[in-house]
Structure 1
Amino acid sequence: MKARMNYRAANPQAFQAMFQLEKYVRESGVDETLLELVKIRASQLNGCAFCLDMHTKEARSKGETEQRLYLLNAWRESAVYTDAERAALALTEAVTLIAERGVPDEVYQQARAHFDEAELTALLMAIVTINGWNRLAIATGQIAPFSLE
């Protein structure tokens, strides 16, 4: 893969608008570890190597275990995730793949059982934001690995 452009430099105002949404998500009160799991799972579904590299590193730096990162692609068959995490991951998949079947009532109700309306809104904004970042990175050819240094 070859980088096509640096969208951040090409249009700083557009980047800042997107970054403000990311800033809201980070400050929304949603658990940091859960946010990273959501970002990683959406990035897996979207095939975004740049974001996978970034968010697996961020998850590790926040204390996430290798085992949970390795099993994330098969979270339904693993017992290492809480019920709330499972609900958030199911919602992440439904929203990320929304064109396939929408967001089924069962998935929404499962998430609603674990998150109040404000938390659910913040979680949805996190899912929307990572999907936006994935699309920007893939469309502009951002190259992994990403370095936090």
Structure 2
Amino acid sequence: MLGLENYLATTSLTDIEKELIKIRTSQINGCAYCIEMHTKDALGYGETHQRIFALSAWWESPLFDEKENVLLKMTEEITHIQQKGLTEDTYTAAQKHFTGNEIAQIIMQIGTINLWNRIGISTHLKHEN
């Protein structure tokens, strides 16, 4: 896991894109520990409170651009893998905004935070006040 995290730290995705994936995945999975951690990280990278607040309903918000909408749609579909997984339509839309390598990096980022969420939830991780 740590080797994959080290690789993902060097990818061409922006820090904000990575944190949007991490926060939204953690919201879907209900990992409060990861939501708190990655919200703080996102703010440190310059993300706004307003966009973080809107992230749980990103598809209705004008605060996210087309590229971010595709990124978040990928996040939803891959995290809810049991429903259909990444649809052909979403994959095609992703190809308009991301290279093949970037799509692979996005999928790895989503998979990694899903596993961290499962570790956090299973071990009852909590932030200290």
Q: TM (normalized to structure 2)?
A: 0.96
Distance 1:68 1:24 in 2: 27
The residue identity in structure 2 corresponding to 1:62 is: Y
1:51–1:73 distance in 2 versus 1, CA, 3 Å: same
Identity %: 41
- Partner SS for 2:113: helix
Name the count of aligned residue pairs. 129
Moved runs in structure 1, 4+ residues, more than 3 A? none
The residue identity in structure 2 corresponding to 1:143 is: K
Distance 1:34 1:99 in 2: 24
Equivalence for 1:102: 85
1:47-95: CA deviation from partner (whole Å, max 9, x where unpaired): 0001000000000000000000000001011111111111000000000
Distance 2:44 2:5 in 1: 18
Say yes or no: does 1:27 pair with 2:10.
yes
- Indicate which of 113, 136, 139 corresponds to 2:119: 136
Distance 2:86 2:46 in 1: 31
Unaligned residue ranges in structure 2 (runs of 5+): none
1:145–1:43 distance in 2 versus 1, CA, 3 Å: farther
Native 8 Å contact 1:91 1:107 kept in 2: yes
1:70–1:39 distance in 2 versus 1, CA, 3 Å: same
1:145–1:38 distance in 2 versus 1, CA, 3 Å: farther
Aligned-CA RMSD value: 1.1
Equivalence for 1:61: 44
Distance 2:80 2:17 in 1: 19
Shift of 1:110: 1.2
Shift of 1:111: 1.3
Structure showing greater Rg: 1
Distance 1:100 1:121 in 2: 20
Equivalence for 2:96: 113
Native 8 Å contact 1:53 1:145 kept in 2: no
Say yes or no: does 1:85 pair with 2:73.
no
Q: TM (normalized to structure 1)?
A: 0.83
Unaligned residue ranges in structure 1 (runs of 5+): 1-17
